[in-house]
Structure 1
Amino acid sequence: MAHLADRLSGRYSRHGLWILPLGVGLAGIVGLALMADDFLSPQNLFNLAAQAAPLLLVSIGQMLVVLVRGLDLSVGSMISLTTAIVSLDASPWATIPGAFAAAVLVGLVNGVTVVRLNVHPIIATLSVTGIIQGITLFVRPVAGGTIPEIVTTLVREEVFGVPMPVFWVVLAIGLGWKLLHGSRFGLHLFAIGGGDTAHSFGIPDRRNTILAFVACSVFAALAGLFLAGRIASGDPNIGTQYAVDSITAVALGGTQLAGGVGSLQGTVIGTVLLALLANGMNLLNLSAFVQTAVKGLILLAVISIQPRKSIGL
């Protein structure tokens, strides 16, 4: 049994076991197609892409932090702050760069607090979450405002009959691949998360850990920009669910929360699984309370089979 648990948890692969989630996803697609007549309709599939795009963006960012044995609980608040900034009555050439500048600042604060002040990532990012949420409510106390036309166009329009959310998904995967497999940065993240000897081999572990938190916040800002264009307003609470959902998607795709093991394809599969689950439960008219409970049970189950030497992540 222990040997089987090790195999299922992906202990022997740097990329984790993403084949099993892929099989579950394919089975889920078949099951939903049989239970819900509208599941395979073009409109529902396009809606599925629109639901998956922001979660995929924030989950890829979350994965970068998890690889270095961290967690970022501030991504949800960063999403909300982005929608609030973009919805201000000002030029988009100021608000959009301003939102990403805020994301870089948040990532730096998270990273420096964890690396330099030795604060646990959960405590550090949870504290930053409260600060960001307070600023967001100051900027946009209630949902409203106007989103620049360029943002709504990039989210709602079609190109050659293909909805823009599909291109956002491709963008997210392309950025994730570039960071993980097209640069030394990705290799360094695996090395840092794999043990405490990365620094001995000349890898700037502290700098790269901080950069992982910065990249995570920037991905969250991209997700916020997408959501702002989709709902055409700013919303101080729209990002609430994404912190837990992104961690669930990352873990579901085979990334070890203890660090050093994970893959882009696994995160994509985990995101699709969650999007399929939410879409299917909506089609079956299950309540939001049931959906939240199901996601919580999935996260608990996935973490329970991950190998850990001691209590903790």
Structure 2
Amino acid sequence: MLERSSKARRSRVARALAAAGAAATLAAAQLVTPAPASAAVSRAELALRWAPIHYQDVDATGSHALGGQSDYITMVDFDGDLNGRNNWDRAGQSGTSLAAYGYYSVVETSTHWYITYLFFHPRDWTDHPFFETEHENDAEGVLFTIERDGSTYGVLRGAVTVAHTDFFSYTPTGSTWTGGGESVDGTLQLQASPHDSFQHPVTAQEAQGHGLKAYPQYNINGDGLIYYPSTVAETPSNGNDRDVRYQLIDMLAPGGLWAQRATPSLFASLGTFAGDTTGDCGSGTWSCSTNSANAPWGWDDGNDVPARGELASDPAKVAAEYFTIPSGLSRTYTYNPYANAAAALAEAARTAPPNVD
């Protein structure tokens, strides 16, 4: 897989999730039908409106693929607990659900909404023995910046996606934003959903390693899934199901992922999911690494200006760095729960091991 030449090659970093609460608490904040234009929009409604139609390539090759199920998106507690160190094995066990979920958080300023989406896989895997490292847990995603133009849901201006240890930036057709400190990597397409009345941005993830870019920079190659944002979570009927609804979970909800950030069974350190080498992880491949997946407050592109975790915790800085923005962009947050832990995030960024996801 080729990335921008200025970027480092993909690698794997640590992820950890913690068991300080019931699995059901992570599913808090289920979404409702988007508000009519006359109503004030909630953060949950805003997240549902802009949630991406998501193309997921599926590979069924080899035993680590679980017949393609290793490429299904799901909850971090899909197996009913908040132990990140048993997810590799539990993904292959009968009785566990791989129903489709995505995570989101909304941060606000007076001029923009910033919506971060995370898609989780229990395995980051490979089907060949050369130069590729597997690991337990995988979490990559995208940041959408929405200008508050006076309309109910605002207008989408730009996106930054996470593909392993690299960030990629996109603008939709007609956006007033152009390249800034980083060049724009492509056009963010929008498509109609059969499950609501909106045009949604379109993202895609590769099979196995699950890097995420704007569609069609990644695409379905043979078998694959198309996930649509909804208020229900469906399990794919097979690895080539082209209409699967996924439900959103608020990372900032009480008991949610952010609240669990210090739970040692789930997170090995701030922003890094806990994962070990038990089971067949690494068997027949180059190796299996530990603690090698990141939550949004651990995402990092080490070649770019924003620091580790700032895509989630200081998205206005990310937008200002990646894009040239002709209209005003406030850097003062009116809602940002991540900011309460800014000092801890900064210290974690300073002391974190190299990002190897």
Q: Check whether TM > 0.5.
A: no
**TM-score of the aligned structures, taking structure 2 as reference length:** 0.24
Structure with greater strand share of residues? 2
- Higher helix content, 1 or 2: 1
